[in-house]
Structures are given as structure tokens and as C-alpha cells.
Amino acid sequence: MIKNIEYNIFERMKKAKRGVVFFASDFVVYGNSNTCSKALERLTKDGKITRVARGIYTIPRKSKYFGRLTPSLEAIAEAIARRDKARIIPTGLFAENALGLSTQIPTKAVYLTDGTPRKIIIGDRTLLFKRTAPKNVAAWGKISGLAIQALKSIGKEKITNDDVEKIVAALKQESKENLANDIKLAPDWIRKIMRKAQTSNNI
């Protein structure tokens, strides 16, 4: 029976692109959780799939130079959000890095969420979900939402002209509708920065 479950699990994972994240709960249609866990263990031991973290699996992408590649923290976070039907948004250094405001590559990704708070260890990396008020994850635009969180992380007193220029340049790629909505969600000092992109887009 486990062999059949192994086959079904592996076939389903093969049909997806390499690097797609799967959860143990995705496979309960093939058997009970205990049997599926054993099947996943065997597939992992045989090297057919990779265990990313507890209950999280993938068939990794391969690199000519780096071998098997673990899914990015962003890909894992987004997969968890889809599964939990929760909204998330990066914050802190992770948000700064995503917008080019920091050259540091964070090993800890912090996300605000209206879903379940949790901490996931992935090798030497950490994925942390912090529960927050719904309005903090209500941004329509990915870029504008990132901008708000990145600016909050830097702080009003430490923001530089170079930071502002980079933020405004990024926000110009956001849709007018998203930008107009998300400006209303930001503190006043951040609104002033965001409006520079809005004004520029109207020229």
C-alpha cells in the first residue's frame, strides 16, 4: 500500500515544476497522515524528493554550479500563505533587501500575517510569521506594500535621500490604482514619499 502511495505522491510532484513547495497535508487524499508520512520519508531517503523543513517537501531545481537548490524563503512563505488562505507581507531587513535598500542578504525572513503566527527553521535560515492587525497586510500592491514596511523598518529619522529615490523609482512600477489605495494605509511621513511617485506618474 505504501508503495502505491509513494508512486502517487511522486507522480503528483513530478507534474509540477521543480522547486514547487508541497506540504504533507497535500497528499492525504492518497492515505492517512501516518502512511503518507512514511511514504514521504522513503521518497526522501531514496533521494527522489527533498525535505525542506518539517512537513514541507519539494523536487529541487538543479544548478550546474550549486547542485540542488532549496526553494527561496519567499516561495515557501507564499506557499504557506496560499495553503492557510492568509495574507502576508515581508517586513524588516527582508523588505529592505527586496527593494534594494540593503545589500545584506538576510537569513531570517520576517512576515506580517493575518493568519497563524509560526517559526520555521530551514537549514540555517529562519522563516518567521508575526500576527498583525488586518490593516497592516491590506495593501493591494506588492511593491507599495513592501515600500511601507521597508520605510517603517528604516525609520523616519534614518531615511536618506538615496533611500527615497530608490523607493520612488520602485513605486513608479506600481499600478495607479494600487498606489492610490495603499497610500491611505501608510503613516503620514511615508505618504509624503509615496505621493512623489504618484505625482510623477501623473505627469
Q: Which of 140, 130, 133 minimizes the C-alpha distance to 184?
A: 140
Same domain (yes/no): 135, 118: yes
Q: What is the CATH number of the domain that holds 29?
A: 1.10.10.10
End residue of a domain, out of 24, 41, 68: 68
- Name the domain boundary from 68, 88, 110: 68
| 130-184 per-position pLDDT tens digit | 999 998 999 999 999 999 999 999 999 999 999 999 999 999 999 999 999 999 9
**Same domain, residue pair 82 and 139:** yes
How many independent structural domains does the chain possess?
2
Q: Which of 14, 36, 68 is the last residue of a domain?
A: 68
Q: Amino acid letter at 10? A: F
Give the structural domain span for 57: 2-68
Prediction pTM value: 0.84
In this structure, the answer to whether residues 87 and 169 fall within a common structural domain is: yes
